[in-house]
Chains A and B, each alone.
Chain A
């Protein structure tokens, strides 16, 4: 059995002015989970150590916390795999206020969830006596998204939420996906439009932390990318995010490189005078510091090859079965 130091974040607003770390030594028995390790510390060494837990079997989502800087579910994680130089550092979830030790205030998380209207909105005129029919494939389509246990691990480690608390966050966007792709839901377009606006799918920077930390198959980044694709296909283009993506494709597809002067006005809209004026100070500051892109945009030498790739993609998108896959064709 290995002796391990658990370095645990402690903060009790009733008596502490500042947070601190407290070390607990524990002999790790083989197979012990992180949650059972914490339970042993609480039982044998310090009963004031505070954390949430309930089911103990990875389905309720209560015991999400951060270990060595990353969120995980304590109940399903073997402690032995978390040791770094003899230490396991345990912190509360990020992006939320600490109430006590490893317990955070989840209210912002629940509030964000409510914003995406997370309930089925079927066609009310169609009220069958029996179940609504759904093919096994249609069920499979939402199966992964429905595995979300609302543990908050993704919310904790989301880099966008770190700088923008208004962002809907990975779990809420995955929840929106669960209804967008539910064949029984009648509000697909409204839902896509809503989360294409500010604070929605286009604000994600696809760093992938959410999917890496997600303890289930919900994998929010994949769900966000699916919604983006659906938004483009459904023609939900009248928002900054979609215009940004389209503008990106337009300039790279034409010249082989990004025209950085084109993208900001393309994203907010060329006729959107107030937003364009809003961009001016940033542009000016970049100019003053010599960080502005070249005024005249030049194509790369082999721009025609890039155009060929784009046209192959376009062809594949319209006739996916007829043409060869773009990743096969790009090299010939």
Chain B
């Protein structure tokens, strides 16, 4: 059994930022299923929000209000005030740590427009902002040298929580297949989102909600899982992210008739409306037959009028993605795009110091924290504004670190039954590998993803989702007979993908359950059978609790309101 005072699972911005806070004071380790520089934070492109007011008269208050409104009033306003209030300090800190930011003519950090933000608020590094921030923290982790232990290519199989106290995890060394128990006074998850359950998605193959489901199976409720953001500019058929910065820099959205259709849906903000509204507008154009040729199942992102110089200076990655993946030259041709499952607003419920809630009444789990996309504080409510996710990971990663430092020092070791935990993890894997099996992993996965994109996508309705729920139950049953052909121990990606699929099936059930129960439209959750927001009945967070038999129970908790009463959301 290995042990660390603090074990952080996930090496993206939240995990590394938390580690940075704790290292040197306590024995801390970071565990990742990939390598730190390969975490999905690095895929964020357009920017990170902060009211630095480097280019206009922005304020923290404006950032706060934009975020509350963008969240369709489902965000907890006390948390949003923390997020926006701490943003300027956070950006300056990252600059001091070495992050290379694009600059203004006054040599300050440059800021540009982004959807749903009323000022030029997005600090950026060309269109590779997440990459620049992630590598900065990865560099700092190397500077820490041996004082920060990093377990790369380790995969968490079980989270151990007993009597409301977190005691550690069981994880697999992917290279050897060895299972190992990690005893910890404090565990933090920064394990990322769950968008991989959708066919068209901008998410990494790694984003299979492993941490979220490990927590759920250990008795932690999951909050607001039905809120999945569809990003308006996914590369056609690939779903790969083309940053909102393309529109922030002046790009147009065109339908098949080359019409800037956003004038019908968000006349004042046009292409820079919030993501939920822009994605719905695109989907409406496609559904009503105004998509682009030949199949009319996509719309167009037009950058041509920006000119080659601006595209290559401000949006080089977008240019290369379009060129390499679908052979379109964005300087001379509009780029085919479609909405793509992008961000998980839901996740592990936490307080403002990232400590995880055990129930809807505010009881907390001792020694368990979560931050970043896997967590639900909730600062994004029903719809996240672009550039607020990198910010959340940094702000709340740091807060988690500070609180863990304080809490862990006051905590004694709680016992962990190594033998029993290892046996349970071993049993789960052996059952997958050794039972007589007939079902294809790839078929189940494909059917799940198609179901989620087609029936639980940009527009939802009761009938479609009932059928999706039935389908998921069928797939869960078939999964009990899934075939794992690779029986080897070392680097068994066949086994890892099977474990990932089991997670995808488990949380997809909760996405559908929360969405079916929520009889309203709010933010990214848009039901054609309940097209209006219903503040009277649904201004509340969903909490899904796992039952003994593997089923779920939904309960609810109120949204925290400080300054801004709900109002109609117009752009």
Binding site for B on A (CB under 8 A): 12-15, 31, 33, 42-44, 46-48, 50-62, 76-78, 99-101, 103, 106, 110, 113-114, 117-120, 122, 127, 129-136, 138-139, 142-143, 146-147, 149-150, 182, 184, 217
16 more CB-based (< 8 A) A-B contacts, given A42-B442, A54-B38:
A31-B237, A47-B494, A48-B488, A50-B491, A52-B34, A55-B38, A60-B38, A60-B42, A119-B140, A119-B143, A131-B101, A136-B102, A136-B105, A139-B103, A146-B125, A147-B131
**Known contacts A106-B35, A132-B96, A33 near B493 by CB under 8 Å:** no
List 16 A–B pairs whose Cβ atoms lie within 8 Å, in order of A's numbering: A42-B494, A43-B440, A47-B484, A48-B494, A57-B202, A59-B42, A60-B204, A101-B491, A131-B95, A131-B109, A133-B108, A134-B101, A146-B125, A146-B135, A147-B131, A184-B98
A149 B441 Cβ-Cβ under 8 A: no
**Known contacts A55-B204, A119-B139, A133-B108, A147 near B34 by CB under 8 Å:** no
Chain B: minimal CB distance from A225 (Å): 21
Residues of A within 8 A of B101 (CB): 131, 134, 139
Residues of A within 8 A of B442 (CB): 42-44, 47
Is B358 in contact with chain A by the CB < 8 A criterion?
Answer: no
Is B1 in contact with chain A by the CB < 8 A criterion?
Answer: no
A119 B42 Cβ-Cβ under 8 A: no
Which residue of A has the minimal Cβ distance to B177? A14
**Known contacts A60-B38, A149-B37, A54 near B205 by CB under 8 Å:** yes
The total of Cβ contacts below 8 Å across the A-B interface reads 165
B108 A131 Cβ-Cβ under 8 A: yes
Docked Cα-Cα span, A135 to B40, in Å, equals: 29
B490 A54 Cβ-Cβ under 8 A: no
Interface centre among A15, A106, A122, A139 (most CB of B within 10 A): A139
A13 B490 Cβ-Cβ under 8 A: yes
Chain A: minimal CB distance from B372 (Å): 16
Docked Cα-Cα span, A100 to B326, in Å, equals: 31
Residues of B within 8 A of A135 (CB): 103, 107
Docked Cα-Cα span, A76 to B326, in Å, equals: 10
B103 A134 Cβ-Cβ under 8 A: yes
Is B485 in contact with chain A by the CB < 8 A criterion?
Answer: yes
Residues of B within 8 A of A101 (CB): 491
Residues of B within 8 A of A146 (CB): 100, 125, 128, 132, 135
Residue in B108, B139, B325 whose beta carbon sits within 8 Å of that of A120 in the complex: B139
Residues of B within 8 A of A114 (CB): 142, 145
Chain B: minimal CB distance from A113 (Å): 7
Is B379 in contact with chain A by the CB < 8 A criterion?
Answer: no
Chain A: minimal CB distance from B291 (Å): 18
A119 B40 Cβ-Cβ under 8 A: no
Is B486 in contact with chain A by the CB < 8 A criterion?
Answer: yes
Residues of B within 8 A of A132 (CB): 95-96
A56 B140 Cβ-Cβ under 8 A: no
Label chain A's interface by main secondary structure.
loop
Interface centre among A48, A61, A106 (most CB of B within 10 A): A48
Residues of B within 8 A of A46 (CB): 485
B43 A55 Cβ-Cβ under 8 A: yes
B206 A118 Cβ-Cβ under 8 A: no
Residues of A within 8 A of B317 (CB): 59
Residues of B within 8 A of A133 (CB): 107-108
Interface centre among B107, B126, B128, B483 (most CB of A within 10 A): B107
A12 B205 Cβ-Cβ under 8 A: no
Interface centre among B109, B326, B327 (most CB of A within 10 A): B109
B126 A57 Cβ-Cβ under 8 A: no
Chain A: minimal CB distance from B424 (Å): 25
Chain B: minimal CB distance from A239 (Å): 25
Docked Cα-Cα span, A106 to B238, in Å, equals: 29
Docked Cα-Cα span, A103 to B97, in Å, equals: 33
Which residue of A has the minimal Cβ distance to B131? A59
A131 B100 Cβ-Cβ under 8 A: no
Docked Cα-Cα span, A142 to B125, in Å, equals: 11
Docked Cα-Cα span, A55 to B105, in Å, equals: 34
Chain B: minimal CB distance from A215 (Å): 9
Docked Cα-Cα span, A44 to B128, in Å, equals: 35
**Chain B positions 91 through 118: 1 when the CB is less than 8 Å from some CB of chain A, otherwise 0:** 1100111101111110111100000000
- Interface positions, chain B 29-84, Cβ under 8 Å from A, are 34-35, 37-40, 42-43
A99 B143 Cβ-Cβ under 8 A: no
Chain A: minimal CB distance from B497 (Å): 8
A118 B142 Cβ-Cβ under 8 A: yes
Residues of A within 8 A of B143 (CB): 117, 119
A103 B38 Cβ-Cβ under 8 A: no
Is B213 in contact with chain A by the CB < 8 A criterion?
Answer: no
Docked Cα-Cα span, A120 to B103, in Å, equals: 18
Is B175 in contact with chain A by the CB < 8 A criterion?
Answer: yes
Chain B: minimal CB distance from A102 (Å): 10
Docked Cα-Cα span, A99 to B324, in Å, equals: 29
A12 B98 Cβ-Cβ under 8 A: no
A147 B204 Cβ-Cβ under 8 A: no
A136 B38 Cβ-Cβ under 8 A: no
Is B462 in contact with chain A by the CB < 8 A criterion?
Answer: no
B34 A54 Cβ-Cβ under 8 A: yes
A142 B100 Cβ-Cβ under 8 A: yes
A54 B316 Cβ-Cβ under 8 A: no
**Known contacts A55-B38, A103-B491, A120-B98, A48 near B485 by CB under 8 Å:** yes
A53 B142 Cβ-Cβ under 8 A: no
Is B321 in contact with chain A by the CB < 8 A criterion?
Answer: yes
Docked Cα-Cα span, A12 to B490, in Å, equals: 8
Is B409 in contact with chain A by the CB < 8 A criterion?
Answer: no
Chain A: minimal CB distance from B274 (Å): 23
**Known contacts A113-B142, A119-B143, A131-B108, A99 near B485 by CB under 8 Å:** no
Docked Cα-Cα span, A70 to B98, in Å, equals: 33
Which residue of B has the minimal Cβ distance to A117? B143
Docked Cα-Cα span, A255 to B440, in Å, equals: 74
Is B515 in contact with chain A by the CB < 8 A criterion?
Answer: no
